[in-house]
Structure 1
Amino acid sequence: MSDLSTPPANWSDQRWRDLAQAWVGDHLDRAGHRITGPVQARVRPWSLVWRLPTDAGAYWFKANNAGTRFEAGLLDALAHLAPGRVPEPVAVDAGRGWALLPDGGETLRDAFARERDPAVWERVLTGYAALQRATAPRAGELLALGVPDHRPEVMPGLLAELLDDREAIRVGVPGGLGPQVYERLRAFLPEFEARCRRLASFGVPAGVQHDDLHDGNVFAADHRVFDWGDASVAHPFGTLLVTLNSVADSFALPAGDPVLVRLRDAYLDVWADRHDRAELREAAGLAVTVAKVSRSLSWRRALSTPDPARAEYAEAVPGWLAELFEPDKL
């Protein structure tokens, strides 16, 4: 389980690196592979990633900070709950937040650089929706793994608590919430609670919600979804916030464009066997609003441990809250 009280790992410490390299080497050896070249590293405040060249192609090691440590255990669970929808880990240490993964090839973003076809997203979204439905009956198990609880019924309390964290939302600080926006958010709390109640009333069960599903987090060849460090157990339709924003930006589409509407409806149709389509569309609009708070919370978790580089990203926490008063792409 992810525990923010756990002291953060010092990824620059040689003893930590030696331990992680031994773990990686041991599991590659069990798989019959060995590292054949220099390891390439990428470090962010929320994770460290190593690209490992081996005699069987590239592998990847990922270590998460305390705020996103649940990702390794979640990925392992999703690989069993929805085979073929996520990368299948070679090894996982859920307690440490470590995962060893095979290379998945180029991303959808890479593929779009050669051939731009937004219709590909219909296949991605319907497959991803099937994954979400598969996780709904096991939502309690995912919460037990430390996946954050962002279900509609808890979101009003989470927003109120977030507004009390003036350091994270940077009230009156350059790049933070202005005092007027802050007071407007405070006044919005009853309305937000009412929207959450309405969203829950449709009866679409909560499941895993990736919360950062864009073309850089999907493999082009098989549409497996990776990078689950922003995920939560939430209303599934909140996914549409980032995804439709990403598609709109990538293909220069205005809000309400028929392409965006078609993608939204293709995604929602996965639930149309049990729910009225008009209600699904209303629920999607509400879920996108709620997901803006979810995005702010996920950024706060990602930046929860000391790191000089986190200042570079700190504006994301208040920035997503301010988006509550901006129009959506739906």
Structure 2
Amino acid sequence: MPIAIDRERSWLLTDDQGTTLTHLDVDDQPTRCIVVRALARLQCAFLGRLNVTERSGIIELAPSTAGNRVRAVAQEWASLQLGHPLRPGPDMLKRAEAAAEVLDRRIASLSDIVPLDLELNDVYPANIFAERSTGALRPRFFDFGNAIWGHPFVSLHGFLEAVVEWTGAPLSRAHRDELFDIYVTVWRDHLDADPQVLRSDLAATEALVGVHRLVSWLRLVPYADPIEIQARAEIPRNYLASVAALAS
């Protein structure tokens, strides 16, 4: 919980919750289960409590608009002057368009059981305190600076991508299924919803991870000078490339 808040500066002071998750934590399936359960509980606690109209500056991305958002970004970047660090090549444009079509198809099956809400968009191990003062791990999530108003399930997929990045190995099917089951169970109990529908929605939202990261980063472009754009352009280019990979 915050100790003090300065709304004018958008600052907050929080109690120190200890060290963050380590590589050994991330490589441990029981620890990952604890984190995933805590994440789902946090999101369910948020659900319906925030009003996006009172949060100026937060980006909203309905899943049904993801394909068009990718098309718009690709077209905007294609119109940039030659030599601009964000200008994509012809191959990237084609793959982005193909990826947008993939997004349209995958999201078409998404139900409306889970409403748009706060998608943390950066559930990274280094953004999770590993508080163990009671002897048991109690994850504490922080750094919501990249959060968007979107489908909450994307937060889980972002964390699982980070797990793969930190461990250098894909999750086994058994471990992934276990984590999915834990996550869906919390949401099922909170919404009294069909777990099969939730599981299907969870599968569909995996395609949105790269799109959420891309649109979150793009909000910073208007404030960046040419030197910053040149130095940091690789980040949004990589996000667009990860979206384009959906067409592979």
TM interval, shorter chain, is: 0.7 to 0.9
SS in 2 for 1:229: coil
Give, as a single letter, the amino acid of the residue that structure 1 aligns with 2:38: G
**What does residue 60 of structure 2 align with?**
149
> Which whole-Å CA distance do the structure 2 matches of 1:294 and 1:318 have between them?
14
> Which whole-Å CA distance do the structure 1 matches of 2:81 and 2:219 have between them?
15
Give a deviation string over 1:39-83, Cα, whole Å, max 9, x none: xxxxxxxxxxxxxxxxxxxxxxxxxxxxxxxxxxxxxxxxxxxxx
Residue 208 of structure 2 is aligned to residue 290 of structure 1: yes
* 1:266 Cα deviation after fit: 1.4
Aligned residues: 236
* 1:326 Cα deviation after fit: 3.4
SS in 2 for 1:326: helix
**What does residue 98 of structure 1 align with?**
11
**What does residue 164 of structure 1 align with?**
75
* 1:107 Cα deviation after fit: 0.4
Residue 20 of structure 2 is aligned to residue 107 of structure 1: yes
**Is the Cα contact below 8 Å between 2:85 and 2:229 reproduced in 1?**
no
Residue 208 of structure 2 is aligned to residue 280 of structure 1: no
Give a deviation string over 1:199-252, Cα, whole Å, max 9, x none: 2x2422222111110210000003110010111121111113321111123233
Q: Provide closer, same or farther for how the CA distance between residues 313 and 203 of structure 1 changes in structure 2, counting only shifts above 3 A.
A: same
**Is the Cα contact below 8 Å between 1:172 and 1:178 reproduced in 2?**
no
**Is the Cα contact below 8 Å between 1:170 and 1:177 reproduced in 2?**
no
**Is the Cα contact below 8 Å between 2:85 and 2:233 reproduced in 1?**
no
**What does residue 229 of structure 1 align with?**
145
**What does residue 254 of structure 1 align with?**
170
> Which whole-Å CA distance do the structure 2 matches of 1:101 and 1:168 have between them?
44
The higher-RCO structure (CA 8 Å, 6+ apart) is 2
SS in 1 for 2:74: helix
Consecutive unaligned residues in structure 1, runs of 5 or more: 1-87
Consecutive unaligned residues in structure 2, runs of 5 or more: 132-137
**Is the Cα contact below 8 Å between 1:169 and 1:317 reproduced in 2?**
no
SS in 2 for 1:224: strand
Question: Between the two proteins, what is the percent identity of the paired residues?
Answer: 27
Q: Which of structures 1 and 2 has the bigger CA Rg?
A: 1
User: What are the equivalent positions in structure 2 for 1:189-204 lying under 5 Å apart?
Assistant: 189-199=100-110, 201-204=111-114
TM-score (norm 2): 0.80
Residue 138 of structure 2 is aligned to residue 138 of structure 1: no
**Is the Cα contact below 8 Å between 2:77 and 2:88 reproduced in 1?**
no
Q: Provide closer, same or farther for how the CA distance between residues 240 and 309 of structure 1 changes in structure 2, counting only shifts above 3 A.
A: same
> Which whole-Å CA distance do the structure 1 matches of 2:242 and 2:88 have between them?
11
Equivalent residue for 2:240, pick from 318, 321, 326? 321
Q: Provide closer, same or farther for how the CA distance between residues 193 and 127 of structure 1 changes in structure 2, counting only shifts above 3 A.
A: same
> Which whole-Å CA distance do the structure 2 matches of 1:168 and 1:313 have between them?
19
